């Protein structure tokens, strides 16, 4: 018969390899906390040994990520750092036509529309921190066809996101960029950016994601519209 101590220690390697499900991980954590000091130290020691070994093994599976990933990562981090993103060197790339067409297809077939939020010039650190601290924080990113990058760092749990736009051209005189959160009911305005709001790096809070699945960008006349009047020039899937 295996002792409870040995049984627990036999789980150290699967635990350290993430080869347990969430429920079992929580149960193991509980048992390790409840165990005597010697047992929990032995468990921790074995976990550490497994992780050190696998960190070395990761050297054999190394692969270069795409270069633009670096821009996105640094943009998102900078957004949290200051609420005002420093300018990053971002190569200009073209959004694929297919992506734009897909965005347009999503926007058509409208239902009801909401009155949007005016964007704040920069997120408060608190809001950004809440999003970044969320256990379900996610990031999506894409290139704007006219140049620049848009990145959204968001959390469903916090029901909010931070939009970071890098090296995006300002909208033409007399127009604004308007953001739309699209759910099954259609697009809801998530705010506008005029030429004055577009810095080399611009951040803004998306305070209410609701059940939206897409963030789309359109050019709108004047100070913005209650519904999109032009085809989105870019969109990001919020999934």
Partner 1 sequence: MLPAVTAPAPARLRSVTADLDALLRRVAQRDVDAFAEFYDQTRARVYGLVTRVLRDPGYSEETTQDIYLQVWRNASDYNPSAGTPLSWLMTVAHRRAVDRVRSEQAATDRESRYGAATVELPVDQVAEGVLEREEYRQVATCLGTLTDRQRECIQLAYYEGLTYVQVSDRLSANLATVKSRMRDAIRGLRNCLDAA
The binding site for partner 1 (CB under 8 A) comprises 10-14, 17-21, 24, 44, 48-66, 69-70, 72-74, 76-78, 80-81, 86, 132-133, 137-141, 153
Give the residue with the Cβ less far from partner 1, 60 or 112. Answer: 60
Give the residue with the Cβ less far from partner 1, 24 or 29. Answer: 24
> Which pairing describes strands 149-155 and 201-206: parallel, antiparallel, or unpaired?
unpaired
Count, residues in the chain: 239
3 state SS of 17: coil
Give the residue with the Cβ less far from partner 1, 117 or 132. Answer: 132
Smallest distance, Å, CB 238 to partner 1?
12
CB 73, CB 42: distance < 8 Å: no
Q: How far apart are CA 188 and CA 13, in angstroms?
A: 49
The secondary structure of 50-116 as a DSSP string is HHHHHHHHGGGS--PPPHHHHHHHHHHHHHHHHSSPPP------PPPHHHHHHHHHHHSS-----PP
Smallest distance, Å, CB 142 to partner 1?
11
Give the residue with the Cβ less far from partner 1, 79 or 100. Answer: 79
Q: Which residues pair with 186 in a beta bridge?
A: 183
Rama region for 210: left / alpha / beta (φ>0; ψ in -120 to 50; rest): left
Give the residue with the Cβ less far from partner 1, 49 or 96. Answer: 49
Q: 136 is written with which tokens?
A: 């379900």
DSSP 228: -
Smallest distance, Å, CB 34 to partner 1?
20
Dihedral sign computed on CA atoms, order 60, 66, 67, 72: negative
Smallest distance, Å, CB 197 to partner 1?
23
Smallest distance, Å, CB 18 to partner 1?
5
Give the residue with the Cβ less far from partner 1, 44 or 110. Answer: 44
Smallest distance, Å, CB 133 to partner 1?
6
């Amino acid at each position: 018969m295996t002792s409870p101590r040995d049984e627990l220690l036999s789980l150290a390697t699967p635990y350290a390899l993430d080869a347990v499900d969430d429920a079992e991980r929580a149960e193991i954590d509980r048992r390790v906390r409840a165990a005597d000091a010697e047992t929990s130290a032995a468990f921790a020691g074995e976990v550490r040994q497994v992780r050190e070994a696998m960190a070395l093994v990761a050297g054999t599976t190394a692969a270069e990520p795409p270069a633009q990933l670096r821009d996105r990562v640094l943009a998102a981090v900078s957004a949290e750092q200051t609420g005002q993103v420093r300018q990053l060197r971002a190569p200009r790339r073209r959004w694929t036509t297919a992506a734009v067409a897909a965005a347009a297809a999503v926007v058509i077939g409208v239902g009801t529309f909401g009155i949007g939020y005016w964007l704040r010039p920069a997120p408060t650190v608190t809001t950004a921190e809440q999003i970044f601290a969320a256990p379900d924080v996610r990031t999506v990113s894409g290139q704007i066809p006219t140049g620049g990058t848009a990145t959204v760092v968001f959390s469903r749990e916090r029901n909010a996101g931070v939009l970071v736009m890098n090296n995006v051209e300002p909208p033409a005189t007399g127009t604004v960029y308007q953001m739309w959160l699209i759910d099954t009911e259609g697009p809801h305005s998530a705010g506008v950016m005029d030429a004055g709001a577009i810095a080399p790096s611009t951040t803004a809070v998306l305070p209410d994601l609701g059940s939206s699945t897409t963030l789309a960008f359109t050019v709108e006349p004047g100070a913005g519209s209650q519904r999109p009047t032009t085809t989105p020039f870019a969109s990001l899937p919020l999934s």
